[in-house]
Homo-oligomer: A and B are copies of this chain.
Amino acid sequence: MDHWKRGAPGEAGAFKSSHPPKPSAKELKRLRVRRHFLDAAKTLILTDGLDQLSTKRIGEMAGYSYATIYNYFENYNELVCEAVEELALECGEFVTESLADFPQAGVKDRVLELARLMVLWNTENVNRYYPFLSTQVDFSYFFARDGEHFFHPAYRLLLEELSRLDLETLEMSQEDLATLTDILAYVFHSKLHFFIRYGVPRTQVELLDEVCREVSFLLGRLG
């Protein structure tokens, strides 16, 4: 669960060991300035959408010259990717906290609720999920940084819930469990894609209904 094990994303390197060295004043300043840029980028993505984002606007909001960004980030794509990762973590936190309060203990009820929360969060403000659809973001940044591809934290939460299924009774293998998790993730991803990009279905209520029906169908067919 790599995206969770790290501290704040983008600052992982500085705090990796269990006894992190005290960061120098210079390093603290670097992290602080990066934070200003990241917060500005996140605010702008959430309010106006990723397509309206620019170094100029980020600089203005953060209170620095746009050129300063390149002293703190390798390039614009790094800044965007780090901001987008934090938005995904916020979604993961919302789902985790809401599920902790969810009284149902049954796997199917909890997975349905997870699906509902995931779709709810990302459609209350569609700017939250849009970056994962944008072909303007180069996600290979994460592979270069971590040696593995980015995955949305909701995926691991889903896998955790499904891991409580009684595989023996359901005549499912561990591979089947992974396959089911993947298919559910495709449902979330595609539904959000079609809703955000094509306006299908037309309302959030219809979308939630459809996702609920699809997830119920998948879980209902398990036995």
Chain A residues near B (Cβ < 8 Å): 51, 130, 133-136, 139-140, 143, 149-150, 175-176, 179-180, 182-183, 185-187, 189-191, 193, 197-200, 210, 213-214, 217-218, 221-222
A182 to B210, CA, bound (A): 10
Query: Which of B150, B179, B213 is in CB contact (< 8 Å) with A179?
Result: B213
User: Are A135 and B197 also in contact (CB < 8 A) when A185-B190, A190-B185, A221-B222 are?
Assistant: yes
* Cross-chain pairs A/B with CB under 8 angstroms, 30 sampled: A51-B135, A130-B135, A133-B133, A133-B135, A134-B135, A135-B135, A135-B136, A139-B197, A140-B198, A143-B199, A149-B198, A149-B199, A149-B200, A179-B213, A179-B214, A182-B210, A182-B214, A183-B183, A183-B186, A183-B217, A183-B218, A185-B190, A186-B186, A186-B189, A186-B190, A189-B190, A189-B193, A190-B190, A221-B221, A221-B222
Write the nearest CB–CB distance from A167 to chain B, whole angstroms: 13
Report copies per complex: 2
Write the nearest CB–CB distance from A203 to chain B, whole angstroms: 15
Chain B: which residue is nearest A220 at the CB level? B176
| Secondary structure of the A contact surface, majority rule | helix
Chain B: which residue is nearest A142 at the CB level? B198
Residues of B close to A222: CB separation below 8 A: 221
User: Are A199 and B140 also in contact (CB < 8 A) when A213-B179, A214-B179, A217-B183 are?
Assistant: yes
A199 to B149, CA, bound (A): 9
**Which of A139, A197, A210, A221 is most buried by chain B, counting CB atoms within 10 A of its CB?**
A221
Query: Which of B139, B176, B187 is in CB contact (< 8 Å) with A198?
Result: B139
Write the nearest CB–CB distance from A131 to chain B, whole angstroms: 10
